[in-house]
Chains A and B, each alone.
Chain A
């Protein structure tokens, strides 16, 4: 049954809506006592746990600073970006134009980040990318008001080439999910491997998010390379590791990858993952006082284990705190604030951290080995790795 709508009711509703749209959403005349930090992160869907870890780590860092940045109390404004690039422009506008946040942070998904870049480059909002590793963010699309506290895809894969060559493996097969993250990882590895004198026998692109690998495993077995470099993450990574081990290849052709191959999947992969070497700018097992302190505090605050995603959130707030203290919380002094962030340094859980010329982190990249179902740190793959930042005018 339908209730009939009278024309009068429709008109009344429409005019009410029009009137409310004309009212200012909020008065900004009052002095902005609080500093507004926008969080554009996934709180639902596959990446929800990443979004939550980043958020909780940011709040942990804020509580260490008594919830004040540059003397101003923090007001958090969170929007669930659903890792959906199609909804990203609306979500970014909600924070930047609607809420007028002082500082925008996020996102996890690179597609969302690319949409975000279009807007924040124009609006000049001070933006800190807390996860997305897409090269253009600090490359061809780089901008003075955009910083990144996580990593560039190049940083997670280029050093892996050196590790493989040092292990005496000169003939490699590359296999990767055929979307931007996979392609950028593969091309960084290719650059490092061929520069170091290695040969890539074959590159196997796998359509995302396919997880049927059997045909390609047989192909790898027939090619008999010295080693295999792969880019997979999450469920696909767990499946690939299990298939690779079950096909009996793990002992014969060692497996290498960017650290995302083993992040968060060791439980699901089980003993199959033993022997995999990866490179990443962080490892849970890093034996430094800063890392131990951070992991303990995070566990205490959330009763979850910290991870590489949480580290980026944690550092974001500590770096912001330094910069904002320097300008005494005055977010309108854009130039001074950017200069202060550029000069910020932190002893991060991941090791020493500072921003490079293109505002991408200069950070150590570690070699990690899976042994007995746990990640071990073997040492440095590359000290103070700095992204080459192809196509960024700020690089020179």
Chain B
């Protein structure tokens, strides 16, 4: 590979990684703070994409779809947490997995009933349809640059919220010791509810951003869910910074795996995960159990 090709592939990897981060960030927060293995996270991603398709097709604007669709997802996230997830905080992971996997099936059938089985395309926003040259043959769609920048902005915003606000402080406190937080007079129920909703909205937002790039199809949530779990495990459960590092690592490993080891490329990401876990069993930035 020439240097310029390596640079282009690095760019591809970072771009893929940034989108993965946006999906995985919600997953890692919910896992880290609420202690819930949320299989339905992929369904929220899918719902976001379908909402983007559904609204954009009727209004002709992806921005409008996001403005209309995100409040819908706030409601969905809130209801799912209140009606289902909140009842299982005290149970073990197996019950939670069964519940959230059940939700996956429900959402898949809902999608089938509401939107059908066809593959749908979502047009890019008109202002972002251009492209810039990348090397002599390839060009880089402006929309891909836009999604990368958007993901980066959201990452910085998340960091600001977690580290710089009272809400973020409670989240961090809840992550390390929920019982103590409750004893100090903070309503953990409300905190968890808000966090789960935020996670669902983040997943849906990633689905909306990705929709024009990926097209919208049944089962799109499952694929992204598995990679997101890999990202969360590599990064360290509950660590947003870790998810960021993990997402970039997975994005780059996947990209170079496809070019250098095409026959076994699907295994590369998992090999990276295994290697990370061998040396850091709690992930790159995961904390030892005692401190959590």
Contact = CB atoms under 8 A, between A and B. Distances in A.
Interface string B201-214: 00000000000011
A287 interface: no
A242 B137 contact: no
B131 A246 contact: yes
Interface in B1-23: 1-2, 5, 8-9, 12-13, 15-16
A2 to B, nearest CB: 19
Chain B contact-residue range equals: 35 or more
A395 interface: no
A48 B117 contact: yes
A2 B138 CA distance: 66
A249 B131 CA distance: 12
Interface string B128-147: 00010101011111011000
| A214, A217, A222, A248 pick with most chain B CB within 10 angstroms | A214
Interface stretch (B67-75, B119-127, B184-192): B119-127
B218 interface: yes
A97 B135 CA distance: 62
B138 A249 contact: yes
Interface stretch (A31-39, A141-149, A232-240, A348-356): A232-240
Interface string B246-289: 00000000111011001101100000000000000000000000
A194 B120 CA distance: 37
B196 interface: no
A119 interface: no
Contacts of A205: 262-263
A207 to B, nearest CB: 4
B5 A238 contact: no
A242 B263 contact: no
Given A215-B259, A268-B119, A247 B9 contact: no
Interface of A: 46, 48-49, 178, 204-207, 209-212, 214-219, 221-222, 224, 234-235, 238-239, 242-243, 246-249, 252-253, 264-265, 267-270
For the complex of A and B, 7 pairs with smallest distance between CB atoms: A248-B139, A235-B217, A207-B266, A221-B137, A221-B138, A268-B121, A215-B255
Interface of B: 1-2, 5, 8-9, 12-13, 15-16, 117-121, 123, 131, 133, 135, 137-141, 143-144, 213-215, 217-220, 223, 254-256, 258-259, 262-263, 265-266
Given A49-B118, A246-B213, 12 more contacts: A205-B263, A211-B214, A218-B5, A218-B259, A222-B5, A238-B215, A239-B214, A248-B133, A248-B138, A253-B137, A264-B119, A265-B119
